[in-house]
Amino acid sequence: MLNSAELSKLLDQTQNIAKSVGAFIRKERQHFDVKNVEHKGFNDLVSYVDKEAERQIVEQLSVIFPDAGFITEEGTNTTRAEVYNWVIDPLDGTTNFIHGLPVFSVSIALMEKEEVILGVVYEINMHECFYAIKGGGAFCNDTPIRVSKAPNLAASLIATGFPYYNFELIDRYLATLKSLMQSTHGLRRFGSAAVDLAYVAAGRIEGFFEYNLNSYDVAAGALIVQEAGGKVTDFSGGKNYIFGREILATNKSIHQEFFEELDRIWSA
């Protein structure tokens, strides 16, 4: 098992990888042509930038920790290891990137069996690197971060992500939005779940919820929220938020109130 010194070294190296790949993505955005967009499915977009960014990340992570396997969005490497696995989203916010909207990120997490022990989210446009290791607190650009102290939903700003291809639960989703519009400071949709989670950790928003997400969207950010003093569950209040395709992350103070409102609507 990794000791604390080894994990800290991996964290530093992972940050450097995220930043270097982020610089590549930022450079490609300057002359990106929408003709290079491919469709993995309905409204599920990808480009050579996503693929090349992931290739670079996998290549560099393989050097610094060759014993770990991979869970990747673009399938560059799908070989899983028994104990340690990297969980990678090379460009979280691809649709924003394609349209030139400045919220997209690199997200890299390391899991030890079923537990996330390292997380890095690098927001490329603002040059903000959010990171944490299990039990070590959360940081942004070397400055400690904490969740906000807002006591309830009425004092909170909430982020979410809109469904873009699976609309089976859209009525429940719209009912949730209607409720939150009337009971909070407002709703925001940034377009990168990893950034949403990082912003909860940094106290810029009080809560984030979304369904139909993948492990690589949330693994790093979920750990950063927890290490910043927040709380993360699935919509049932359980722990299946990495692979369960639904997540509720808050500053902890509003979690029970937020959960009860979600449960009222989603279990109806």
Binding residues: 73, 89, 91-92, 217
CA atoms within 13 A on the CB side of 166: 8
Nearest to 106 by CA among 53, 153, 183: 53
**47 in Cβ contact with 28 (< 8 Å):** no
On the 0-12 / 13-18 / 19+ scale of CB atoms within 10 A, 241 is buried
Nearest to 49 by CA among 92, 108, 110: 92
Q: Which two tokens stand for residue 135?
A: 């039990």
| Alpha carbons 265 and 14: distance in angstroms, whole number | 39
* Residue 156, CA distances (Å) to 159, 192, 224 in order: 10, 19, 19
| Alpha carbons 75 and 40: distance in angstroms, whole number | 12
Backbone torsion region of residue 195, taken as left when φ is above 0, otherwise alpha when ψ lies between -120 and 50, otherwise beta: alpha
Q: Which two tokens stand for residue 199?
A: 């912003």
| Alpha carbons 198 and 34: distance in angstroms, whole number | 28
**121 in Cβ contact with 130 (< 8 Å):** yes
Q: Which two tokens stand for residue 249?
A: 């992350």
The letter for the amino acid at 73 is E
Q: Which residue positions form the known binding site for Mg(2+)? A: 73, 89, 91-92, 217
Backbone torsion region of residue 100, taken as left when φ is above 0, otherwise alpha when ψ lies between -120 and 50, otherwise beta: left
